[in-house]
């Protein structure tokens, strides 16, 4: 359920129409297959929509490279639609299968002020960069950046930045959970972009004693994580259930591992991470027995 809540928040904040933008109601269809998006390039007008339908038997997720849209995880036969309210080229990928990439080209007048995020999904503690341009391409212009952390109901001012050569601006941000951003310049407001956040999970060992810690804004004491092992078929299977202690920390011993090389990680589900967070997983630990 929370997967749909996260995507819904992003959808709600992406409803601003630039002044003077053309109104259009067309919808173009894109199929998600095992090998990619069909078509890989879709051209529409400002105000048009794109509808993605999962034609595969496994799950997929549509995620914009700049954070401007993100679908929930789509099971077989499920669909997601997004209306584009600003011109430009919007590159996107499959959040579950990152090698699958495509783009939407939206034709129309350029926005007076643009915004994008360097990455749409981060691990807690990382600092993505917001950037954009003002349409007069002059330096010395003041751009006001606003933020809307989940579940806040309105945008609030975050910072004021001054454009550099060519009218470009940028701002380093550190969202602690799902946060949407928009920029204002003079009387113009950009579209919104969202940055989603995964909990930070550490995983290490000393001999047969293993340690993990889950970190984000809340204390994860009492939350459940799983140790997973990568099979020869490329699937992650659960081999140990853990209940985290104070500050999300847990020391434990591993069950018997098969001889040879085992690749392990710690995984936290979306439900355990809580509202405003995606699921999380640690770096992979390679154990030889």
pLDDT of residue 1: 35
Residue 125 has pLDDT above 80, yes or no: yes
Q: Is the CB of residue 201 less than 8 Å from the CB of residue 272?
A: no
Out of 148, 178, 196, pick the residue that ends a domain: 196
Q: Is the CB of residue 262 less than 8 Å from the CB of residue 289?
A: yes
Other CB atoms within a 10 A radius of the CB of residue 19 amount to: 9
**Residues in contact with 235: Cβ distance below 8 Å, sequence separation at least 6, in sequence order:** none
Residue 238 has pLDDT above 50, yes or no: yes
Residue 1 is assigned to a structural domain of this protein: no
Alpha-carbon gap, residue 184 to 118, rounded angstroms: 19
Report, as an integer, the average pLDDT of 96-113.
92
pLDDT of residue 284: 97
The per-residue DSSP string of 132-163 comes to EEBTT--TT-EEEEEEEETT-SS-EEEEEEE-
Residue 54 is assigned to a structural domain of this protein: yes
Looking at the structure, do residues 131 and 152 belong to the same domain, yes or no? yes
Alpha-carbon gap, residue 267 to 103, rounded angstroms: 31
Residue 185 has pLDDT above 70, yes or no: yes
pLDDT of residue 12: 31
% of the chain with per-residue pLDDT over 70: 92
Report, as an integer, the average pLDDT of 204-211.
92
pLDDT of residue 289: 81
Report, as an integer, the average pLDDT of 225-244.
94
Looking at the structure, do residues 280 and 223 belong to the same domain, yes or no? yes
Report, as an integer, the average pLDDT of 174-195.
95
pLDDT of residue 24: 55
**Sheet strands side by side (includes 79-83):** 37-38, 27-32, 49-54, 79-83
Least confident of 11-20, 29-38, 172-181: 11-20
pLDDT of residue 22: 44
Looking at the structure, do residues 98 and 160 belong to the same domain, yes or no? no
Report, as an integer, the average pLDDT of 137-144.
97
- The count of domains in the chain is 3
User: Quick one: residue 247, left, alpha or beta (phi over 0 = left, psi -120 to 50 = alpha)?
Assistant: left
pTM above 0.85, yes or no: no
Q: Is the CB of residue 162 less than 8 Å from the CB of residue 140?
A: yes
User: For 240-266, what is each residue's pLDDT tens digit?
Assistant: 999 999 999 999 998 788 889 999 999
Q: Where is pLDDT greater, at 156 or 10?
A: 156
Residue 145 is assigned to a structural domain of this protein: yes
pLDDT of residue 257: 85
Q: Where is pLDDT greater, at 289 or 116?
A: 116
Closest CA to 102 of 36, 27, 29, 7: 36
**Sheet strands side by side (includes 62-64):** 41-45, 101-107, 88-94, 62-64
The per-residue DSSP string of 114-131 comes to --EES-SEEETT---EEE
**Residues in contact with 42: Cβ distance below 8 Å, sequence separation at least 6, in sequence order:** 28, 30, 50, 102, 103, 104, 105
Out of 196, 231, 264, pick the residue that ends a domain: 196
Alpha-carbon gap, residue 74 to 197, rounded angstroms: 19
Residue 204 is assigned to a structural domain of this protein: yes
Residue 80 has pLDDT above 60, yes or no: yes
Structural domain boundaries, residue 233 = 199-288
């Amino acid at each position: 359920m929370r997967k749909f809540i996260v995507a819904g928040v992003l959808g709600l904040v992406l409803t601003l129409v630039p002044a003077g933008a053309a109104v259009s109601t067309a919808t173009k269809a894109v199929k998600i297959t095992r090998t990619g998006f069909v078509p890989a390039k879709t051209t529409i007008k400002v105000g048009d929509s794109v509808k993605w339908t999962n034609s595969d038997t496994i799950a997929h997720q549509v995620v914009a490279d700049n954070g401007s849209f993100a679908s929930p995880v789509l099971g077989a036969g499920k669909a997601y639609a997004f209306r584009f309210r600003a011109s430009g080229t919007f590159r996107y990928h499959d959040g579950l299968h990152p090698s699958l990439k495509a783009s939407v080209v939206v034709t129309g007048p350029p926005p007076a002020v643009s915004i994008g995020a360097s990455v749409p999904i981060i691990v807690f503690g990382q600092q993505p960069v917001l950037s954009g341009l003002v349409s007069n391409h002059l330096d010395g212009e003041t751009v006001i950046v606003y933020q809307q952390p989940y579940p806040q109901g309105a945008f609030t001012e975050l910072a004021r930045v001054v454009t550099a050569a060519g009218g470009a601006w940028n701002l380093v941000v550190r969202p602690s959970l799902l946060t949407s951003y928009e920029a204002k310049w003079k009387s113009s407001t950009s579209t919104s972009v969202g940055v989603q956040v995964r909990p930070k999970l550490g995983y290490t060992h000393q001999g047969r004693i293993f340690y993990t810690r889950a970190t984000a804004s809340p204390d994860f004491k009492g939350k459940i994580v799983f140790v997973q092992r990568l099979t020869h078929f490329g699937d992650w299977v659960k081999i140990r259930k853990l209940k985290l202690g104070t500050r999300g920390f847990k020391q434990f011993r591993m069950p018997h591992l098969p001889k040879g090389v085992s690749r392990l990680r710690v995984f936290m589900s979306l439900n355990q991470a809580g509202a405003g967070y995606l699921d999380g997983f640690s770096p992979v630990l390679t154990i030889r027995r």
